[in-house]
Chain A
Amino acid sequence: MAILVIAEHSNAALGAATLNTVTAAKAIGGDVHVLVAGAGCAAAAEAAAKIDGVAKVLVADDAAYAHQLPENVAPLVAEQGKSYSHVLAPATTTGKNLLPRVAALLDTDQISEIIAVESADTFKRPIYAGNAIATVQSSAAIKVITVRGTGFDAAAAEGGSAAIENIAAGADAGISSFVGEELAKSDRPDLTSARVVVSGGRGMGNGDNFEMLYKLADKLGAAVGASRAAVDAGFVPNDLQVGQTGKIVAPDLYIAVGISGAIQHLAGMSGSKVIVAINKDEDAPIFQVADYGLVADLFEVVPQLDAAL
């Protein structure tokens, strides 16, 4: 029994979520192989070969895979997947985009966003925005699974020495093409893997006021997040959104500033180790999950906090 992990990568570098997915694969048990499909992705493949616990790296290097278009990558993964018992991908937007297409090509049900491995065929996953945890058993011959990064520790990025094997690429399906992208630039740590996250909500008032959260975040070496309300109001770009429909984070410290704590937001951060809430409404639902709550005006308290650190 061997497990195929689909690497998350930018051709030049391996995505951090791949490491958590490898840990999930190791928990299932069996040889772990990593598939890197991209264009000019030798660097990503080499990084994958160094991951502790990886037995083999398969590389499909072709212009058709440059932007991970699922119409091109899914047939390749489905073909390779036939010789594995499990096919895993990180539950990032790339993994979520690709893997269900693979599952349908293999005519098998998919299990989304697992947070724990009970056995080789039984997994735990959150449903209803994290308000319930389902234990799901699969009788499928090939189990197709996406892995929630915050549910598993990252595998060591060094220490492995897997063989790299080139595999043949398929043809471009010719039904989709990449036009362009606008990536938000940030020097702060990645939201999903940061040890500390400072998030702002509607209470911030406007986008300019987020400056004080950026300042605080820089002092703490933290990433900055936001609630849907802050994103919808145009304070910050949508890729900062934490919640059921945004990113799922589980840092050591989560500081929620001016966030009421709607169900959809809690779904994205209630796995955090310590939660601090700063809100002037003492009845805000966020205080029900906060380890430390401070009922105060954020415009007074955040600069004080910044000064105290």
Chain B
Amino acid sequence: MKILVAVKRVVDHNVKVRVKADNTGVELANVKMSMNPFCEIGVEEAIRLKEKGVASEVIAVSVGPSAAQEQLRTALALGADRAILVEQDGDISSLTVAKLLKALVDKEQPGLVMLGKQAIDTDNNQTGQMLGALTGYAQGTFASKVEVDGDKVNVTREIDGGLQTVALKLPAIVTTDLRLNEPRYAKLPDIMKAKKKPLDTVTPADLGVTVASTLTTLKVEAPAQRSAGIKVADVATLVEKLKNEAKVI
């Protein structure tokens, strides 16, 4: 079966973002961009399933600006067979991304769709579930273990109280949690080879999807700053402060 894996270009997770002075968003000019960490885990899992002989082809897809080709090339260097970029600038709602992915699912007919559980920029945690609704497929969200077994997939999910295992009929949607795997690094020869792998570019119009959103961001502000704290010399002072100054114990 084919695996479709969705990747997103986001601000690198180590960057401390700054809010723009005019409160229209965060500063993205000259900031390092990378593949969303949860998407890396999705790519890794898809490649491992291919190495196990479960998957025949891994297709990496991204919705974003033309620069998102970099992240797709990274996915190709890691082992994806080909890539598709749905080129669209600006903010796109999760529902629109889900609709674009649905159009690609209809076209490619994958047995499994892998997504990250959330993108670390918008922190939405929506796209995989929405794709589940649009395709009518079952969803295994926040996956920490994925086992394909014939015509179904067993997904162990990270839930608030511990772990839950569900069995899903294929084709299905899986969204990755941090502990699913440890993503590999791309090797230099593979990065060179990835430049020759196919990368198609399409537009939302090609897929018959209108880019629209009912959400408007009115402003983006920095969170309230915590007032500077103090350093205490020893445990006795700490306990005294907590008891008498902060009054929390």
Chain A residues in contact with chain B, CB under 8 A? 67, 69-71, 74, 92-94, 96-105, 107-113, 122, 126-140, 173-184, 192, 196, 220, 228, 231-232, 237-239, 244-245, 247, 252-253, 263-264, 270, 273-276, 282, 287, 289-296, 301, 304-305, 308-309
Contacts and interface: CB of A to CB of B under 8 A. Distances in A.
Given A100-B125, A112-B124, A182-B163, 10 more contacts: A71-B138, A97-B142, A109-B214, A184-B162, A192-B160, A244-B120, A293-B232, A294-B235, A296-B234, A309-B239
B94 A135 contact: no
B26 interface: yes
Given A132-B220, A134-B217, A290-B229, A100 B126 contact: yes
A238 B158 contact: yes
A105 B136 CA distance: 10
Interface string B212-237: 01111111111100100111101110
B89 interface: no
B241 interface: yes
A112 B249 contact: no
Given A97-B129, A101-B130, A71 B159 contact: no
B141 interface: yes
A175 B138 contact: yes
Chain B binding site: helix, strand, loop or mixed by DSSP? mixed
Interface of B: 11, 13-14, 16-17, 19, 26, 93-95, 98, 117-118, 120-134, 136-139, 141-142, 144, 154, 157-169, 172, 177-179, 213-223, 226, 229-232, 234-236, 238-239, 241-242, 246, 248-249
A110 B126 contact: yes
B232 A69 contact: no
A116 B238 CA distance: 33
A108 B125 contact: no
B242 A274 contact: yes
Contacts of A252: 248
Contacts of B123: 112-113, 126-129, 244
Contacts of B178: 228, 232, 245
Contacts of B246: 253, 274, 291-292
B81 to A, nearest CB: 27
A25 B134 CA distance: 27
A268 B242 CA distance: 22
A304 B235 contact: yes
In the A-B complex, the 9 residue pairs with the smallest Cβ-Cβ separation, listed nearest first, are A100-B129, A104-B133, A104-B130, A100-B126, A140-B214, A176-B138, A179-B165, A291-B229, A183-B162
A239 B124 CA distance: 20
A94 B231 CA distance: 40
B166 A135 contact: no
B229 A112 contact: no
Contacts of B160: 92-94, 192, 239, 247
B215 A104 contact: no
Contacts of A98: 129
Nearest to B134: A104
A308 B236 CA distance: 7
9 contacts: A71-B139, A74-B133, A137-B218, A173-B138, A181-B164, A181-B165, A263-B14, A270-B226, A292-B232
Nearest to A15: B160
Contacts of B226: 270, 275, 289, 291
Interface centre among B130, B161, B232 (most CB of A within 10 A): B161
A254 B227 CA distance: 16
A136 B216 contact: yes
A273 B248 contact: yes
Contact of B217 (A101, A136, A247, A309): A136
Contacts of B129: 70, 96-101, 104
Given A111-B215, A184-B162, A97 B139 contact: yes
Contacts of B231: 282, 287, 292-295
A71 B162 CA distance: 21
A184 B211 CA distance: 43
